[in-house]
Amino acid sequence: MSPQDKTAAAARLRRALLAFQTAQNHLLGAERRLKGLPRAEVDAFWNGLGRRLEGNMRATAAEAVAAFGRFSAAGLVADAADRHLVTQAQRHLAENA
């Protein structure tokens, strides 16, 4: 694999992990804001914006896992923090399949 391919794989992984972290933060923030609200409001949220947040979480998790596969195939090694995020993405996909 060429140095340009390795650079591209590293950049893709970096972008994917940032997007996944952002999606995690949005979903977690939404869950925190919903605490204590009436059940009807919580249900309305999950039927609208919440569904989109969950879809975005699935999409970013899938991209993180795919980007990591390409990154690894390039012979590159992720640091512990990145590997932890990839594991979270894999777990999210497995739990929500």
Whole-number pLDDT of residue 13? 97
Query: Residue 94 pLDDT more than 80?
Result: yes
Read off the pLDDT of residues 33-57 as tens digits, 9 standing for 90 and up. 999 999 999 999 999 999 999 999 9
Q: Residue 85: which pLDDT band, with cuts at 50, 70 and 90?
A: very high
Helix (H) / strand (E) containing 82? helix 80-95
Percent of the chain with pLDDT over 70: 100
The total number of structural domains in the chain stands at 1
Range of the domain at 60: 3-95
